[in-house]
Amino acid sequence: MDVRVVVPLAEVDRPRPPERAIQFLVGGGEQALDAEARVVAAIDAEQRVPQARQSVDRRRRRGARGHEERDRRETTHAAIVYSRAVPYLTAQLPGTGGLIKAVPEDFVVEELPAYAPSGEGQHLFLTVEKRGITTREMVLRIARELGVDPDDVGVAGQKDKQAVARQVISVPAIDPARAANLKLEGVEVLSAARHQHKLRTGHLRGNKFTIAIRGVVDDGEARARAILDQLTAAWLPNRFGEQRFGSVGDNAGDGRKILLGQLHVEDRFRRRFLISAFQALLFNRYLAARMEEGLLHRAMLGDVMQRTDSGGLFVVTAEDMAYTQARVEMRQIVPTGPIYGYTMFTPPEGTPAAQRESSLLAEEGIAPSVFGQFGKLAPGTRRALLARVTGTSARQADDVLTLSFALPSGSYATVLLEEVMKPGEPIKLQADS
């Protein structure tokens, strides 16, 4: 197996924080959204994956694994393992140690909806609680019981399998009373209300987590509170969690091979998934490099910034550097990183920000134009480098530490847990795909 080790871009003239090696086995502030139209527009602007890409018939889903195995047999290229040293933002603070997810009830996640159902319309919004099953399996079970097509069921986000998850889904209009008290294996419907349209991917404000960490040190609560206080003030590095790169770990490497024409994957949805894993890997590397060089909270000339109230993007100019930096420090805006693609908002040519982003892609031997060959499979977007952490609490009983916190949609609880626990290796939960 080939191993590619990515070395930090530069040494800096200051003490470097302790680092941990994260292996990618080839593999934004919480925004107050006060109107549904504003939510939908912002999501569309961020080029989220259309719901149609999730509406795959069951035959293709069943065949995806077969395609994948055949595709692996057809390629002679060895898997690539990416290794990257990533510093903790809270490296100077000791961690709690411990383990998570001894039982599903140790990891509870609750969606924070972007808007409430209106009470009328052709769709029914169901608040459901699932445990021990994937979001997809939950959809299949509810659809079968209610007699609707699974492709007509809408979800805002995928939730981890080994957890207790409360989330909202939509189904075609049926009698609310029929669905309101539905109880199936692993699924319970908590409430039902009508709405005008189907729920779309990304239509949520964020997620609230309640997580039990077992086997922590005696002063785990004090350690956790110190770390959470720092993350609340500085915000969380918004990298993708390890589960994004697959249980085997070669997702990102396979995505790179697809872009370079070294691997053929017949199933379109699997192909997009692998490419997006590679895009996520590059974002994580970009984020890590800025952390290592002390640039996570600094504005650079040409940086694409995101307004934390609206999600709008703009470019940093030389004339506004001082003012822009002041806004970063107040968290009115945050720097963004690249999710490379053919329609990505890019920094102006010739700026330090543009050079940094193009150099990272060049290291992989990939030209920006390559993404255009894959059309809607790799449109590209921007992702905030920092995510607001809110609603934090920590309490300890014996050696069990219970944390509560909220993160924006798309941010990973495991990234925050790694800051708190300081484990010897990255936390990888089972992906819900």
Q: What fold is seen in the domain 115-201?
A: Pseudouridine synthase (3.30.2350)
What's the rounded Cα separation, in Å, for the pair 92 and 73?
47
Is 0.95 surpassed by the pTM of this model? no
What's the rounded Cα separation, in Å, for the pair 176 and 193?
7
Q: Is the CB of residue 293 less than 8 Å from the CB of residue 342?
A: no
For the chain, list residues with pLDDT below 50: 1-79, 83-84, 431-433
Q: Please tell me the predicted confidence (pLDDT) of residue 2.
A: 37
Q: Please tell me the predicted confidence (pLDDT) of residue 304.
A: 98
What CATH superfamily classification does 2-91+230-387 receive? TruD, insertion domain (3.30.2340.10)
- The two beta strands, 123-131 and 187-195, are antiparallel
Q: Please tell me the predicted confidence (pLDDT) of residue 17.
A: 36
Got the DSSP string for 246-262?
Answer: -SSS-HHHHHHHHHTTS
Q: Please tell me the predicted confidence (pLDDT) of residue 392.
A: 98
What's the rounded Cα separation, in Å, for the pair 431 and 246?
7
In our burial notation (b when 16+ CB lie closer than 10 A, e otherwise), range 78-110 reads ebbbbebbbbbbbbebebbbbebbeebebbbbb
Let me know if 152 is a catalytic residue.
Answer: no
Tell me how crowded residue 433 is: count the other CB atoms within 10 A of its CB.
16
Got the DSSP string for 189-225?
Answer: EEEEEEESS---TT-EEEEEEEEEEES--TTHHHHHH
Q: Is 146 left (phi over 0), alpha (psi -120 to 50) or beta?
A: alpha
Catalytic residue among 71, 106, 160, 250: 160
- DSSP 8-class letter at 152: G
Indicate if the alpha-carbon torsion angle 315, 319, 320, 325 is positive or negative: positive
pLDDT tens digits, 292-302? 999 999 999 99
Q: Please tell me the predicted confidence (pLDDT) of residue 33.
A: 34
- DSSP 8-class letter at 181: T
Question: Domain-by-domain residue ranges, the chain?
Answer: 2-91+230-387, 115-201
Residue whose C-alpha is closest to residue 27's, from 53, 9, 4: 4
Q: Please tell me whether residue 118 adopts helix, strand or coil conformation.
A: coil
Q: Is the CB of residue 419 less than 8 Å from the CB of residue 407?
A: no
